[in-house]
Chain A
Amino acid sequence: MNTNQVSRRDFLRVSGLAGTALCLGFYFPSSAKEAEIINTTGTASSEIELNAWIHIDTNGKVTIFNHRAEMGQGSFQSVPQIIAEELEVDLKDVNIVFAQGNREKYGNQVTGGSSTIRSSYKNLLKLSATARVMLISVAAQKWAVSLADCYAASGHVFHKTSGNKFHYGELVVDASKLATPKEVILKKTSEYKLIRKPLLRQDTPLKTNGTAIFGLDKKLPGMLYATVERNPRLRGVVKSFDASAALKVPGVIKVFKVRMGVFKTFREGVAVVANSTWAAMQGKKALKVAWDDTGFEHINTADIYKRQQDSLQTQEGLFAKKQGEPDAILKQAEKTVDVVYQTPYQSHSCMEPVNCVAHYQGDKVEIWGPIQAPEWVQDYISEQLGLAKEKVIVNMTFLGGGFGRKAFMDYPHEATMISKEMSAPVQVVWTREDDATQGPYRPGISYRCQGAIKDGEITALKFRMAGQNNDHWRAGKTDQANRSTAEGFLKPYYDSIKNISFAEVQFETPIPTMWWRSVYASTNGFAYESFLDEIALAAGKDPLALRRQYLQEERSQLLIDKMEAVSGWKQRKKNEGFGVAITECFASTVGQIVKVSRAENGKIKIDQVWAVMDCGWYVNPDIIKAQVEGSIVMALGAATIHEITFKDGLVEQSNFYNYKMPRITDIPPIEVYIMENEANAGGVGEPGLPAFAPALTNAIFDLTGKRIRKLPFDLSAV
């Protein structure tokens, strides 16, 4: 077990900080739910491991460890913006450093579930306010005045009446000797100077001149480059391989078999190590590998959906959620709707293909890469290699996109095994084709949705899904329903509709599946919100009015007010198609309205998208808008442009020519609005995605009367 002394030394080493300073952190005592703030400058608290750190040096420079990945969602901006607010420093004086993977120190570091802010903002506010109060206390003592006569601003403490001031740097030594105050008063929202302001992102300049270091940009002295030919059927082992041609490629150094963990299973491949990425890629092309995938089904996409949809007609599945007696109501109902929706497998396809640098040094291994879950990587590698956790050092770089893909351990494990074989630092580069064909993917899912209507009112809803359960790849139990079956469905519906059930009809394939931006809400949202549209039609109600009627909760009502106001929903004209969808994801609710029309060439044109985000307490409205815009673009691609399909167990897409991406020419005007309230902060990076596809297909129905129940669909062919 590390002591705090060691932890602090690590912190100073990695951040390049030294000297006397005020160093505060927070930790979660095992007995309490609330984090405690602790002064770690001294040695008194030597037994405690901290979750996050701020460090103020004698020049007044503030350094914080960003314990979450920066993959575009803006943690590099949002976290300092929170700290600078309560600490009363200028944003430019806050330096941010990537933390290493360390579960003890930072707690859950997995950048997933849109959790960076919502899981830590209260503690970050408290931590910063505590430091501020301690600095003010020292100044008040020095001046022998009361605390109330002093205030902090721009990295200084001021005395109100005399105008005297101290720079924070002049106070840190004495402040570090103080005990942390038990209670601090946090600012009111109305007092914020930085939070809730659309401040420019501090990481932008690094991203406009090539200086931001992504995983692929990491270089080490003596570093070699590797590519890996992996089993194209995703599972199974190498039977044999012929490296003779590969070894003739100039620059190729060594070719060998490598095994990497894929969750609880594994995959094999043949590694080609060379002195440049190009040589490694050429060597890989020259390889001949025979594979043995005995025991793994060679699956076809058409069979996947047939099996799912057949089982949805015959099986009830495992209940994930149930209230009332929807079955009984459905049996007696005069008017029912019973339809099936289908959603595709999707690849994350980050612009930065998967890659990782590992340097195995016998008794320890150090890893650098675009990594969403550094402490998972630390746990996994330490377990696989039998190394103590502190001997597995995991460094995060900027991520060129993550979307869930880079939260897994297969690629760091693979890089570690290759570095071990070479006894040298090695960067493993996945080609775009590797990235597209190896998964894990968002699972393709079929949904059967049934509803009963009586006198124009919804009396029962019954939802069943058949699709792979991501949890089964990790620790998930196979005798329990997928806990995400109801994700995306708004909670107030449970109050207004008395009979509802969600069930999962289990479905397995050998295809590795995992989280993809907004996870199950991304597909559930399409099924459930399309279905509500179909129910509205059957009940003879306006689709938005139906939602207003059944979402009897103040926040929902305000959200709908806003949606109506910005979109002109009630004033819509005959030749315009308007569609609505409202979904919940990671504690935020997003409503979207899409307007479509038929262009002169006869094709459907998306004229406008309005998105309203209710994420409660928030930090930077411009980052939120950017995340929602990006989520809508990603949703547009997944709904109308690309899908992963399988033929005889092989993935049919390989690069952007057959897994096409939305381009600048495809993007409709998007307006994003943020609801103002003080509720607990919700997620931002993902919740903007699920509502788009159903809002679009609902709009197309409104315009054309054609109901789209299968994604993706060709917008130009409607």
Chain B
Amino acid sequence: MIMSIILTMVGVMAFAWRSGSKKEAMLPLSALPLKKDSIASVKAFEKVYRVLMSPRCMNCHPSGDIPLQGDDSHLHEMFPKRGKDGKGLFAMKCGNCHQPSNTPGKHSPPGNAEWHLPPANMKMVFQGKSAAELAKQLIDPKQNGNKSMKQLLAHSEDGLVRWGWKPGEGRTLPPMSHAEFKKAWETWINNGAYAPKSNQ
């Protein structure tokens, strides 16, 4: 069922789950939380946004097809490309350097068994996105990897997401603990997954 919900409130212009084309899929109603608290939701998303835009998360959600690297989020040395499946191209596949776990040493490749970028048909760009844009993108199954609300909720426990808090030597951690992030993530979603005003 396609639907759009528009909520307004004092001080916060809640975003639309979607707007525009009616063809876009929407989250099923059943997945939506019963509780709607746009203030609490938006406030939680501020925290979520800070984490998602930290280098540990954003570096693999680049605006182009080359991942970013380092705390300054520069273009990854040697310009590896996303490839169709997000796992690189030819002799430069992510897993050729990035091992199932972090390689010890300050400048060695970090690692995780799932190491990859979003695939070419679902780029899930974080880089350059405002909080409003990112929130809208995250809950749009057309842009979030066809994730239902339930799957989205569970995503904070994803192995690659969790890697962000064990990134290996020499890499700054996201700006809060994983527990705090998880709590904010869930608060955001469970209170209606509202987006901040578009100028925030």
Closest to B78 in A: A663
CA–CA, A663 to B77, complex, Å?
10
For the complex formed, measure the closest distance between the CB of A39 and the CB atoms of chain B, giving whole angstroms: 55
Contacts of B77 in A (CB 8 A): 657, 660
Closest to B77 in A: A657
Of A657, A660, A663, A665, which is within 8 A of B107 by CB? A657
For the complex formed, measure the closest distance between the CB of A281 and the CB atoms of chain B, giving whole angstroms: 11
For the complex formed, measure the closest distance between the CB of A392 and the CB atoms of chain B, giving whole angstroms: 38
A655-674, CB < 8 A from B: 655, 657-658, 660, 663, 665
Contacts of A657 in B (CB 8 A): 77, 107
Contacts of B78 in A (CB 8 A): 663, 665
Closest to A665 in B: B79
CA–CA, A318 to B10, complex, Å?
80
Contacts of A658 in B (CB 8 A): 107
For the complex formed, measure the closest distance between the CB of A245 and the CB atoms of chain B, giving whole angstroms: 15
Most buried by B among A657, A658, A660: A657
CA–CA, A658 to B74, complex, Å?
13
For the complex formed, measure the closest distance between the CB of B170 and the CB atoms of chain A, giving whole angstroms: 11
Contacts of B107 in A (CB 8 A): 654-655, 657-658
B45-88, CB < 8 A from A: 77-79
Contacts of A654 in B (CB 8 A): 107
CA–CA, A665 to B77, complex, Å?
11
Closest to A282 in B: B104
CA–CA, A665 to B66, complex, Å?
14
CA–CA, A655 to B107, complex, Å?
9
Chain B interface mostly helix, strand, loop or mixed?
loop
Contact with B along A636-662 (1 / 0, CB 8 A): 000000000000000000110110100
CA–CA, A654 to B79, complex, Å?
21
CA–CA, A56 to B78, complex, Å?
50
CA–CA, A655 to B78, complex, Å?
15
Q: How many residues of A contact B (CB 8 A)?
A: 7
CA–CA, A657 to B107, complex, Å?
7
A25-78, CB < 8 A from B: none
For the complex formed, measure the closest distance between the CB of B59 and the CB atoms of chain A, giving whole angstroms: 15
For the complex formed, measure the closest distance between the CB of B99 and the CB atoms of chain A, giving whole angstroms: 16
CA–CA, A626 to B78, complex, Å?
24
For the complex formed, measure the closest distance between the CB of B80 and the CB atoms of chain A, giving whole angstroms: 11
Closest to B69 in A: A657
CA–CA, A291 to B38, complex, Å?
61
Closest to B70 in A: A657
For the complex formed, measure the closest distance between the CB of A287 and the CB atoms of chain B, giving whole angstroms: 16
For the complex formed, measure the closest distance between the CB of A140 and the CB atoms of chain B, giving whole angstroms: 60
CA–CA, A355 to B194, complex, Å?
61
CA–CA, A665 to B76, complex, Å?
13
For the complex formed, measure the closest distance between the CB of A304 and the CB atoms of chain B, giving whole angstroms: 26
A89-143, CB < 8 A from B: none
B129-155, CB < 8 A from A: none
Closest to A656 in B: B77
For the complex formed, measure the closest distance between the CB of B49 and the CB atoms of chain A, giving whole angstroms: 29
CA–CA, A635 to B107, complex, Å?
26
Contacts of A663 in B (CB 8 A): 78
Closest to B104 in A: A285
For the complex formed, measure the closest distance between the CB of A642 and the CB atoms of chain B, giving whole angstroms: 13
Contacts of A665 in B (CB 8 A): 78-79
CA–CA, A658 to B79, complex, Å?
16
Contact with B along A698-715 (1 / 0, CB 8 A): 000000000000000000
For the complex formed, measure the closest distance between the CB of A126 and the CB atoms of chain B, giving whole angstroms: 49
A148-183, CB < 8 A from B: none
CA–CA, A517 to B88, complex, Å?
36
For the complex formed, measure the closest distance between the CB of A353 and the CB atoms of chain B, giving whole angstroms: 16
For the complex formed, measure the closest distance between the CB of B84 and the CB atoms of chain A, giving whole angstroms: 21
B86-112, CB < 8 A from A: 107
CA–CA, A660 to B107, complex, Å?
13
For the complex formed, measure the closest distance between the CB of A672 and the CB atoms of chain B, giving whole angstroms: 27
CA–CA, A621 to B87, complex, Å?
43
For the complex formed, measure the closest distance between the CB of A658 and the CB atoms of chain B, giving whole angstroms: 8
CA–CA, A657 to B76, complex, Å?
11
CA–CA, A420 to B84, complex, Å?
57
Contacts of A660 in B (CB 8 A): 77
Contact with B along A616-632 (1 / 0, CB 8 A): 00000000000000000
Contacts of B79 in A (CB 8 A): 665
CA–CA, A137 to B46, complex, Å?
95
CA–CA, A658 to B107, complex, Å?
10
Closest to B79 in A: A665
For the complex formed, measure the closest distance between the CB of A680 and the CB atoms of chain B, giving whole angstroms: 43
CA–CA, A658 to B70, complex, Å?
12
CA–CA, A197 to B107, complex, Å?
46
CA–CA, A220 to B77, complex, Å?
38
CA–CA, A48 to B79, complex, Å?
60
For the complex formed, measure the closest distance between the CB of A650 and the CB atoms of chain B, giving whole angstroms: 15
For the complex formed, measure the closest distance between the CB of A615 and the CB atoms of chain B, giving whole angstroms: 35
For the complex formed, measure the closest distance between the CB of B28 and the CB atoms of chain A, giving whole angstroms: 44
CA–CA, A657 to B78, complex, Å?
10
CA–CA, A166 to B137, complex, Å?
85
CA–CA, A654 to B77, complex, Å?
16
For the complex formed, measure the closest distance between the CB of B109 and the CB atoms of chain A, giving whole angstroms: 10
For the complex formed, measure the closest distance between the CB of A640 and the CB atoms of chain B, giving whole angstroms: 16
For the complex formed, measure the closest distance between the CB of B88 and the CB atoms of chain A, giving whole angstroms: 16
For the complex formed, measure the closest distance between the CB of A519 and the CB atoms of chain B, giving whole angstroms: 30
For the complex formed, measure the closest distance between the CB of B155 and the CB atoms of chain A, giving whole angstroms: 31
CA–CA, A199 to B85, complex, Å?
45
For the complex formed, measure the closest distance between the CB of B116 and the CB atoms of chain A, giving whole angstroms: 22
For the complex formed, measure the closest distance between the CB of B96 and the CB atoms of chain A, giving whole angstroms: 16
Closest to A660 in B: B77
CA–CA, A654 to B170, complex, Å?
15
B15-57, CB < 8 A from A: none
For the complex formed, measure the closest distance between the CB of A227 and the CB atoms of chain B, giving whole angstroms: 15
CA–CA, A663 to B78, complex, Å?
7
CA–CA, A660 to B78, complex, Å?
10
For the complex formed, measure the closest distance between the CB of A663 and the CB atoms of chain B, giving whole angstroms: 6
CA–CA, A658 to B78, complex, Å?
13
For the complex formed, measure the closest distance between the CB of A462 and the CB atoms of chain B, giving whole angstroms: 43
CA–CA, A37 to B62, complex, Å?
69
CA–CA, A657 to B77, complex, Å?
8
Closest to B107 in A: A657
For the complex formed, measure the closest distance between the CB of A603 and the CB atoms of chain B, giving whole angstroms: 13
For the complex formed, measure the closest distance between the CB of B76 and the CB atoms of chain A, giving whole angstroms: 11
For the complex formed, measure the closest distance between the CB of B41 and the CB atoms of chain A, giving whole angstroms: 40
CA–CA, A654 to B108, complex, Å?
13
CA–CA, A665 to B81, complex, Å?
13
For the complex formed, measure the closest distance between the CB of B9 and the CB atoms of chain A, giving whole angstroms: 43
CA–CA, A15 to B78, complex, Å?
44
CA–CA, A522 to B77, complex, Å?
27
Contact with B along A386-408 (1 / 0, CB 8 A): 00000000000000000000000
For the complex formed, measure the closest distance between the CB of B73 and the CB atoms of chain A, giving whole angstroms: 15
For the complex formed, measure the closest distance between the CB of B64 and the CB atoms of chain A, giving whole angstroms: 12
For the complex formed, measure the closest distance between the CB of B151 and the CB atoms of chain A, giving whole angstroms: 37
CA–CA, A670 to B163, complex, Å?
44
For the complex formed, measure the closest distance between the CB of A181 and the CB atoms of chain B, giving whole angstroms: 57
Closest to B105 in A: A285
For the complex formed, measure the closest distance between the CB of B75 and the CB atoms of chain A, giving whole angstroms: 11
CA–CA, A252 to B78, complex, Å?
35
CA–CA, A371 to B79, complex, Å?
35
For the complex formed, measure the closest distance between the CB of A368 and the CB atoms of chain B, giving whole angstroms: 30
CA–CA, A547 to B191, complex, Å?
76
CA–CA, A663 to B75, complex, Å?
15
Sample of 9 A–B contacts (CB below 8 Å): A654-B107, A655-B107, A657-B77, A657-B107, A658-B107, A660-B77, A663-B78, A665-B78, A665-B79
| 9 tightest Cβ-Cβ pairs between the two chains A and B | A657-B107, A665-B79, A663-B78, A655-B107, A657-B77, A660-B77, A658-B107, A654-B107, A665-B78
Extra contacts, 6 of them, besides A654-B107, A655-B107, A663-B78 (Cβ < 8 A), are A657-B77, A657-B107, A658-B107, A660-B77, A665-B78, A665-B79
